[in-house]
């Protein structure tokens, strides 16, 4: 007889490998998130910062208030290199450079998120933080794969974000045109392309456009009110959870 308590319909058992981590290769305001490839042993923790609030009412028992929480993430990553240049993949190179640096150069921007094999990503299981980096070359034997052990320690608090994982078949947006040309501040333009249904942001000349200033008409069309800026050629970039489009050069008016 099966005496196990049944699970609700539609329940699936989570897998150990169902997490992703992205390294920001751009800036905080105009991020270019690159998924960390060939990662294993992802282990996030959220250490508490407490203060003693015990009183006589606690009858000698401890009473600690949680004043804040940090984030510490450890994982391993294989040391894949370009055979022509000898360089590591860009996301690993950024981590290793930060692990050897000081000051602001020692800090990276990253985000983590639930990334299921099947089913819907947990919308509440995702975050973003600034981290300092520690790196150790962990496989130092005479045979085997090159592996780095990475520990990321949060700098300040972490930010809860919308889960950016859009599914295994998702692709970054493609921008093919922006019409009409020479639109000035407040004038409407139509961005044509693909991959727009799950857009999370648009930048014009590196500045984020508020969500209230554009409307997603379809997977291939966005109507946008041109933000303030200088006359001339500027890049327009559209981002969705799978990545960012290549910048399209647009000649904007005064």
d(CA 10, CA 22): 29
Residue 28, pLDDT score: 87
Whole-number average pLDDT of the chain:
93
Confirm whether 1 is domain-assigned. Answer: no
pTM of the model: 0.71
Confirm whether 8 is domain-assigned. Answer: no
User: Both 156 and 66 in a single domain?
Assistant: yes
User: Both 34 and 156 in a single domain?
Assistant: yes
Q: Which residue range is the domain that position 91 belongs to?
A: 19-160
User: Both 59 and 182 in a single domain?
Assistant: no
Confirm whether 4 is domain-assigned. Answer: no
User: Both 191 and 84 in a single domain?
Assistant: no
Residue 74, pLDDT score: 98
User: Both 241 and 135 in a single domain?
Assistant: no
State how many domains the chain has: 2
Q: What is the DSSP letter of 81?
A: B
User: Both 58 and 155 in a single domain?
Assistant: yes
Q: Are 133 and 98 in contact (CB under 8 A)?
A: yes
Torsion sign across C-alpha atoms 55, 58, 64, 65: negative
User: Both 201 and 152 in a single domain?
Assistant: no
The residues that bridge with 34 in the sheet, in sequence order, are 23
17-53: per-residue pLDDT in tens? 999 999 998 888 878 888 999 999 999 999 999 999 9
Q: Which of 160, 188, 215 is the last residue of a domain?
A: 160
The CATH number of residue 199's host domain is 2.60.40.10
User: Both 34 and 150 in a single domain?
Assistant: yes
Residue 143, pLDDT score: 94
Q: Which of 133, 160, 187 is the last residue of a domain?
A: 160
User: Both 153 and 182 in a single domain?
Assistant: no
DSSP percent split of the chain into helix, strand, coil, nearest 5: 10, 45, 50
Q: Region 189-213: what's the mean pLDDT?
A: 90
Confirm whether 5 is domain-assigned. Answer: no
Instruction: Note every long-range contact of 204-210, with CB atoms under 8 Å and residues 24 or more positions apart, other chains counting.
Output: 204/229, 204/234, 204/235, 204/236, 204/250, 204/252, 205/229, 205/230, 205/234, 205/235, 206/27, 206/29, 206/30, 206/235, 207/29, 207/30, 208/29, 208/30
Phi, psi of 97 (to 5 degrees): -65, -45
88-92, 170-174, 188-192, range with the lowest pLDDT: 170-174
Lookup: tokens for 115: 């990334």
User: Both 119 and 219 in a single domain?
Assistant: no
Residue 7 confidence (pLDDT) above 80: yes
Confirm whether 122 is domain-assigned. Answer: yes
Confirm whether 49 is domain-assigned. Answer: yes
Torsion sign across C-alpha atoms 33, 34, 35, 40: negative
Q: How many residues does the chain have?
A: 254
CB atoms within 10 A of CB 242: 20
Confirm whether 136 is domain-assigned. Answer: yes
Q: Which of 160, 192, 208 is the last residue of a domain?
A: 160
**Secondary structure (3-state) at 179:** strand
The residues that bridge with 33 in the sheet, in sequence order, are 24
Lookup: tokens for 169: 């078949």
Q: Region 48-72: what's the mean pLDDT?
A: 97
Q: Are 133 and 101 in contact (CB under 8 A)?
A: no
d(CA 218, CA 64): 52
Q: Are 18 and 4 in contact (CB under 8 A)?
A: no
Q: What is the band of 1 on the pLDDT scale with cuts at 50, 70, 90?
A: low
Confirm whether 45 is domain-assigned. Answer: yes
% of the chain beyond a pLDDT of 90: 75
59-68, 105-114, 190-199, range with the lowest pLDDT: 190-199
d(CA 66, CA 52): 9
Residue 219, pLDDT score: 78
User: Both 30 and 68 in a single domain?
Assistant: yes
User: Both 107 and 145 in a single domain?
Assistant: yes
Residue 16, pLDDT score: 95
């Amino acid at each position: 007889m099966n005496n196990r308590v049944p699970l609700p319909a539609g329940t699936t058992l989570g897998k150990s490998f169902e997490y992703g981590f992205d390294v920001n290769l751009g800036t905080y305001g105009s991020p270019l998130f690159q998924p960390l490839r060939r990662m294993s042993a992802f282990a996030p923790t959220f250490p508490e910062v407490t203060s003693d609030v015990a009183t006589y009412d606690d009858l000698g028992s401890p009473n600690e208030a949680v004043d804040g929480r940090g984030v510490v993430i450890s994982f391993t990553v294989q040391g894949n290199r370009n055979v022509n240049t000898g360089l590591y993949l860009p996301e690993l190179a950024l981590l290793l450079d930060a692990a050897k640096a000081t000051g602001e150069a020692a800090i990276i921007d990253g985000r983590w998120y639930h990334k299921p094999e099947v089913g819907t990503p947990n919308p509440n299981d995702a975050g973003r933080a600034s981290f300092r980096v520690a790196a150790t070359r962990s496989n130092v034997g005479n045979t085997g794969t090159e592996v780095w052990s990475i520990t990321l320690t949060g700098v300040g608090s972490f930010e809860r974000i919308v889960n950016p994982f859009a599914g295994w078949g998702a692709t970054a947006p493609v921008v093919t045109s922006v019409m009409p040309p020479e639109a000035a501040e407040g004038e409407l333009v139509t961005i044509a392309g693909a991959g727009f249904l799950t857009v999370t942001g648009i930048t014009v000349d590196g500045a984020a456009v508020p969500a209230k200033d554009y409307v997603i008409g379809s997977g291939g069309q966005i109507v946008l009110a041109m933000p303030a800026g200088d006359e001339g050629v500027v890049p327009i970039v559209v981002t969705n959870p799978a990545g960012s489009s290549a910048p399209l050069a647009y000649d904007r008016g005064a």
